[in-house]
């Protein structure tokens, strides 16, 4: 391979370098705005929850023993002594043979140990209740601190907040938590052939696809994209643009210009910037080989392929975990390792050993297993990504996968 002067690093090794960059700073965030943010400190329960034993049902609180033996044809009978409130503990207690009316969420009288559901009772007049089913101690109630005891860690530093976590924060007073700032990510396109999106191309010119696709991918993993537009293939112009982007952002993505051959400007510029360390120039990844990662005085600057599907795959495989990491997520490979759909491969899929191969697949839902069919098409085409449902990974050491093999599919669409 005479012209192959890349020193390829493995995906694993490049990820190690990428996940060693420092995290962004912290800020406070009101609860309304916290979905999608990442906690910058552990979050603790500030009280027992529930604070007292409460009912899970609309019904009647009682001593379970008073219902033992009750049945459809041999009901038990208790007296309705009072009504429990939902917003304060009852002032009275029940005596043996008594119950108290209670709604979902209501606080139990001290001596009640269970709740019989409304539907399994009948009020027969004179404050007397007929019970047609026995309840067990603890039935239909939440015990004090069953959810959490004061001081429990509820959410760890590095947790990405979703709807369930928003609810937990609300329940325990997290109205203003410390979170990581959204990573600011500068996006630059390079190439003399790139024109702005609102212009009409003539043959040879292309609109700036990557600027917008990358911005969307940056948002997908919690970052804040800043678009710097396209820079012509001139050393000084690119160097100036990269320097400006470094000053204004936590990380910089440059798409195009990282292929060997005539367009090696990016690596020259990155090598020449003050404080530069090139961590990778070429990665054992397909598509995505001509990827560069440099550390410019502590800021990560990525040189990404120009081809549409290559750059989108590199974003998913390498840049997304990196952005999740600097954004404080404790499990930056989450989406990559845990959001995978099992399927079986539809046909033999060869792969050159020595590189990790990401093959775009369509997914055919079967009655039992889904079938992943490799999508053919050149990586310069827009539709190899758009027509695919997701992608599968063929490990570097593998020469390919066999029809019928179990695979895990990384989905492209998730929301």
| Interaction residues for a second copy, span 41-80 (CB under 8 A) | 46-47, 49-52, 54, 56, 58
Residue closer to a second copy, measured from CB, 224 or 279: 224
Contact predicate 223/300, CB 8 Å: no
Residue carrying the six token digits 């490979």: 333
Nearer to a second copy, 24 or 313 (CB): 313
Q: 316 near 301, Cβ under 8 Å?
A: no
Residue 413 neighbours by CB under 8 Å, 6+ apart: 389
**How far is it, in rounded angstroms, from Cα 335 to Cα 291?**
21
How many C-beta neighbours within 10 Å does residue 66 have?
23
* Binding to a second copy in span 324-363, by CB under 8 A: 335, 339, 341-342
Can you tell me the distance from the alpha carbon of 231 to that of 254, in angstroms, rounded to the nearest whole number? Answer: 10
Stretch that binds a second copy, among 73-81, 171-179, 235-243, 267-275 (CB under 8 A): 171-179
Query: Chain centroid to CA 191: how far?
Result: 33
**CA nearest neighbour of 53 among 132, 131, 125, 143:** 143
Structural contact between residues 59 and 140, judged by C-beta atoms closer than 8 angstroms: yes
> Closest distance between a second copy and the C-beta of residue 319, in Å?
12
Q: Is 208 in the site for a second copy (CB under 8 A)?
A: yes
- How many residues touch a second copy under the rule CB under 8 A: the total is 110
Q: 296: which strand partners?
A: 276, 299
Pick from 16, 71, 77, 86 the residue near a second copy by CB under 8 A: 86
Task: Decide: is 379 part of the binding site for a second copy (CB under 8 A).
Answer: yes
From the list 37, 14, 13, the residue with the least C-alpha distance to 27 is 37
Q: How far is the CB of 274 from a second copy (least distance, A)?
A: 30
Task: Kindly identify the residues of this chain, within the stretch 384-413, that bind a second copy according to CB under 8 A.
Answer: 385-386, 406, 411-413
Among 11, 209, 242, 401, binds a second copy (CB under 8 A): 209
Interaction of residue 312 with a second copy, rule CB under 8 A: yes
Residue of the chain from 148, 361, 375, 394 that contacts a second copy (CB under 8 A)? 148
Q: Helix or strand or coil: residue 17?
A: helix
Task: Please say which residue, 22 or 137, places its beta carbon nearer to a second copy.
Answer: 137
Contact range with a second copy by CB under 8 A, out of 63-71, 196-204, 245-253, 269-277: 196-204
Here the tokens at position 260 are 């060997």
Q: Candidates 19, 206, 273, 279: give the one binding a second copy (CB under 8 A).
A: 206
**Structure tokens, 208:** 């700036």
Choose one: 17-25, 191-199, 243-251, 350-358; the region binding a second copy (CB under 8 A): 191-199
Which of 383, 395, 403, 404 binds a second copy (CB under 8 A)? It is: 383
Q: Hey, is 13 helix, strand or coil?
A: helix
Helix (DSSP H) and strand (DSSP E) numbers for the chain: 9, 28
CA 375 to chain centre: 26
Interface with a second copy in residues 255-284 (CB under 8 A):
259-263
Of residues 173 and 400, the one with the C-beta less far from a second copy: 173
Neighbouring C-alpha atoms within 13 Å toward the C-beta of 105:
4
Residue range at the interface with a second copy (CB under 8 A); choices 63-71, 72-80, 218-226, 273-281? 218-226
Q: Any bridge partners for residue 10, and if so which?
A: none
Q: How far is the CB of 297 from a second copy (least distance, A)?
A: 29
DSSP 354: T
Q: Looking at beta carbons only, is 79 or 264 nearer to a second copy?
A: 264
Site string for a second copy, 228-257 (x = CB under 8 A): ------------------------------
Q: What are the start-end ranges of the H helices in 257-307?
A: 265-272
- What is the closest distance, in whole angstroms, from the C-beta atom of residue 408 to a second copy in the complex? 10
């Amino acid at each position: 391979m005479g012209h192959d002067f890349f020193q390829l690093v493995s995906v694993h090794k490049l990820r190690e370098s990428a996940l060693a960059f420092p995290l962004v700073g912290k800020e406070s965030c009101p609860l309304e705005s916290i979905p999608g943010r990442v906690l910058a400190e552990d979050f603790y329960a500030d009280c027992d929850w529930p604070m007292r034993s409460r009912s899970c049902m609309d019904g009647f609180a009682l001593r379970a023993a008073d219902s033992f033996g009750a049945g459809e044809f041999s009901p038990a009978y208790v007296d309705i002594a009072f009504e429990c409130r939902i917003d304060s503990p009852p002032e009275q207690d029940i005596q043996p043979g008594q119950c108290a009316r209670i709604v979902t969420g209501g606080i139990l009288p001290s001596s009640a140990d269970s709740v019989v559901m409304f539907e399994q009772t009948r009020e027969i007049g004179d404050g007397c209740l007929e019970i047609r089913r026995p309840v067990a101690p603890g039935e239909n109630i939440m015990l004090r601190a069953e959810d959490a005891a004061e001081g429990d860690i509820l959410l760890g530093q590095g947790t990405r907040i979703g709807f369930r976590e928003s609810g937990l924060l609300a329940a325990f007073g997290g109205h203003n938590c410390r979170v990581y700032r959204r990573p600011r990510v500068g996006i630059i396109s390079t190439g003399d052939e790139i024109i702005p999106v609102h212009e009409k191309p003539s043959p040879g010119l292309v609109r700036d696809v990557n600027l917008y696709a990358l911005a969307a991918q940056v948002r997908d993993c919690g970052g804040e994209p800043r678009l710097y537009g396209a820079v012509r293939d001139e050393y000084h112009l690119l160097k100036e643009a990269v320097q400006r982007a470094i000053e204004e952002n936590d990380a910089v993505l440059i798409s195009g210009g990282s292929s060997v051959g005539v367009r090696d400007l990016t690596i020259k510029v990155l090598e020449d910037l003050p404080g530069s360390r090139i961590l990778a120039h070429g990665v054992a990844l397909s598509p995505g080989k001509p990827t560069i990662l440099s550390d410019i005085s502590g800021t990560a600057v990525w040189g990404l392929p120009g081809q549409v599907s290559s750059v989108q795959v590199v974003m998913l495989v390498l840049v997304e975990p990196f952005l999740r990491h600097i954004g404080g997520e404790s499990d930056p490979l989450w989406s990559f390792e845990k959001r995978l759909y099992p399927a079986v491969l539809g046909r033999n899929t060869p792969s050159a050993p020595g590189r990790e191969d990401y093959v775009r697949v369509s997914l055919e839902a079967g009655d039992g297993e889904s079938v992943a069919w490799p999508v053919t098409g050149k990586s310069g085409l827009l539709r190899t990504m758009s027509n695919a449902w997701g992608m599968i990974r063929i490990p570097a050491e593998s020469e390919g996968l066999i029809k019928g093999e179990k695979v895990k599919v990384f989905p492209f669409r998730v929301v």
